[in-house]
Structure 1
Amino acid sequence: MEIRKLQLTGGSSLAITLPKKWVDHFGLKSKDTVVIYSQKSGSLIIQPARYKEQLLKTVLKIDGLTKDMLTRELTAHYISGSDELTIKSKRITRDQRNRIREILQSLIGYEIIDESSEGVFIKNIFDATKFPIIQNVEKMFVIVKSMFNDAIKAITQNNNPLASDVIDRDFEIDKLRLAIMRQFYALIQGRVYDEEIGLSQADTNYYEHVATQLERIADHAVKIARTVITADKKSESLVSSRLKNIVKKILPLLEYSEEAVRELDKTLAHIILEKNPEIERTFLLDRDVKSFEEMLVVDSLDRLRGYVMNIAEITIDQAIVVKKK
């Protein structure tokens, strides 16, 4: 940190000198243009005008990577903000190419521009400033609610087609969450700014955390759906009627948390958290399960409870942060 005194210039304007190390780092000279961004926090960000236009170019070498490792590495490049990604290998196999294409379906904005036997060139066409984070978190709520409701319906009716549909919807949740993470990283890296997206770093951090909890809830809806598909039973229902008692208390919490996030309502968030002891007692009282499938459903419902409580807690934190502004 360096401290500068304001100096009066031109009779009415205030000015400061820029740190020499910073100027030398960017190779700036007299008459060069800098851009000043005013942040919601009250701070100012100063950057060379050309800095904003620079693309982040990265290279991913995939020799020796398994399919899962390739997925993690490619996704990490996307989240960290790579604009141009070159994937290299001594020879890219057909399976690797297919895997790369599968991964790209979950990465909004990533497109294959060119490829050869030794490489794949990917370019980002995603404009973070035109991605409405709040609206997409709201969209995630809608999808997750439908997924969980249909997952419960699928297992109570032993409905395989409905279970398969739940699994398919998880794809959209993953896409939205990764795009929100990319935008959050772009903001903290100084590649986009508060005034461009209408959210501060604290705001974006909050919605990224909410999106993460929703993605985990969706994963448990998928877990229930897969239980339906893999179950070796011909009965109309894979669970007992007693499960309805738990479902009636758990699923409405998702509705309440959606409203709490939309309105940034800490009073409603407190109400959600106050319900937690009662719901925990319900799980303790209803320990007897009909089957292995029912045990998995009860576990997923308990995880849903935990994730909703997390959303309520961070909503209270965010509401207080916003009130202080």
Structure 2
Amino acid sequence: MPDKGSRRVEVRKAQSLGKSSLGITIPKAWASSIGVEPGSPVYLELRDDGILIRSMGREAVRTSSIHVMSSSTVDEVLRMVISSYLRGDESMIIKFDAVNPSVKEHLFRSIKVKLAGVELIEESPAEAHVKVLSLQTQLPLGKLMSRMWLTVRGMLRDSLDLIGNSDGELAEDVTARDDEVDKTYLLIHRLINMAIAGTIQLKSVSLENRMELTPYLLVAKSVERSGDHAWRIAQWAPNLVLAGPAIGAIKELGFKVLELSNAALNAFIGKDTEIAMKILNQRNVLLNERMEAMTSMHDVPADSRGFALLVIESLGRIAAYAFDIAETTLDGYS
């Protein structure tokens, strides 16, 4: 790259090179810094805000190096791996100090669960080489978002069914699906970062306008957080076996929130601002229904009341994410 002291902005005049082409000169120092010489092929991409020029001769594999100290926890290392993944790195070299083999095994298992398209290529006592598979086909963000929401919707529905029901197998299934939601969210986040950086084209994620990238990231995060709350409800629900008639009040609120969230996501995918506005108009109505549900918990036995209020709080958070999605739809497509 050019030195920090050099100019990074230039004004040049376009020159006619024929009936269908224009030529624009660029500073020689800039060209040299990205490996472009006379006769070098370059990659051009027409963007909404200009034209991207990138050297085709220096397509180096984006690699990160992660140092794992003996005191590092699995969560700390996993966080560094996820950061590298989100940046769009294609390869990671994980270097280990004296690390317990069981810690490494736990780390690799967590990476496999959390990240899509990641493979352990080489492993030795001192280091491991992790590779992220390249995109071979289009991965439409809309379809990925719909898939993530379908999983969250199923989680929430099953979590509501668990209220007053001690089905341990169903609760475990909800927990497993939360990992799939996280994996899809991180993939969406990675693709958006790569599209922003220009390392993949917009058409590879089936978008036409770069301005859609940020709304998709915001909505993906709201859906992922909704999944977290569905998971929490699944953990608390079995403790509401003694909640009596109040179970009906919680479930009624829950299914209204589920319907609201489903409408909000569909409005975003369909760019339907009219539906988004109708959803936002329900904000006060849902707030009142939530307060009524909390009031009805006064008759719930003390050993269940705390869990009941936690469930209602999580339902309120999921509803808030639905309203956020509706607002994003209005902001992005009005």
Residues 1-325 of structure 1 mapped to structure 2, 5 A cutoff: 1-10=9-18, 13-39=21-47, 41=48, 43-51=50-58, 53-63=59-69, 64-105=71-112, 106-127=114-135, 130-199=138-207, 200-228=209-237, 231=239, 235=242, 240-288=247-295, 289=297, 290=300, 291-320=305-334
Distance, in Å, in 1 between the alignment partners of 2:312 and 2:19 is 72
Q: Please tell me the residue identity of whatever aligns with 1:69.
A: E
Q: Can you list the C-alpha shifts for 1:154-178, whole angstroms capped at 9, x where unaligned?
A: 1233332222211111111011000
Distance, in Å, in 1 between the alignment partners of 2:104 and 2:267 is 43
Q: Please tell me the residue identity of whatever aligns with 2:326.
A: A
Q: Please tell me the residue identity of whatever aligns with 1:220.
A: H
Q: Please tell me the residue identity of whatever aligns with 2:217.
A: E
1:238 offset after TM fit, Å?
A: 9.9
SS at match of 2:211: helix
Distance, in Å, in 1 between the alignment partners of 2:257 and 2:37 is 62
Q: Can you list the C-alpha shifts for 1:55-87, whole angstroms capped at 9, x where unaligned?
A: 101100010311221121111111111111010
Distance, in Å, in 1 between the alignment partners of 2:321 and 2:20 is 54
Distance, in Å, in 1 between the alignment partners of 2:283 and 2:156 is 19
Q: Tell me the TM-score normalized by structure 2.
A: 0.88
RMSD: 2.0
Distance, in Å, in 2 between the alignment partners of 1:49 and 1:97 is 37
Q: Please tell me the residue identity of whatever aligns with 1:54.
A: A
The answer on whether the counterparts of 1:108 and 1:175 sit within 8 Å (CA) in structure 2 is: yes
Distance, in Å, in 1 between the alignment partners of 2:204 and 2:176 is 33
Distance, in Å, in 2 between the alignment partners of 1:153 and 1:195 is 40
Q: Please tell me the residue identity of whatever aligns with 2:294.
A: R
The answer on whether the counterparts of 2:139 and 2:204 sit within 8 Å (CA) in structure 1 is: no
The aligned length equals 316
Q: Can you list the C-alpha shifts for 1:178-234, whole angstroms capped at 9, x where unaligned?
A: 0111111111222112244332432232222211111100001110111245x3x76
The answer on whether the counterparts of 2:138 and 2:206 sit within 8 Å (CA) in structure 1 is: no
Distance, in Å, in 1 between the alignment partners of 2:36 and 2:250 is 67
Distance, in Å, in 2 between the alignment partners of 1:32 and 1:177 is 38
Q: Can you list the C-alpha shifts for 1:73-116, whole angstroms capped at 9, x where unaligned?
A: 11111111111101012233212212222222221111001111
Distance of aligned partners of 1:107 and 1:128 in 2 relative to their CA distance in 1, 3 Å threshold:
farther
SS at match of 2:89: coil
1:129 offset after TM fit, Å?
A: 5.5
Q: Tell me the TM-score normalized by structure 1.
A: 0.90
Q: After the TM superposition, which of the residue ranges 276-285 and 126-135 deviates more from structure 2? A: 126-135
Q: Please tell me the residue identity of whatever aligns with 2:254.
A: V
State the identity as a percent.
26
1:307 offset after TM fit, Å?
A: 0.4
The answer on whether the counterparts of 2:122 and 2:130 sit within 8 Å (CA) in structure 1 is: yes
Q: Please tell me the residue identity of whatever aligns with 1:183.
A: L
Distance, in Å, in 2 between the alignment partners of 1:217 and 1:13 is 51
Q: Please tell me the residue identity of whatever aligns with 1:272.
A: I
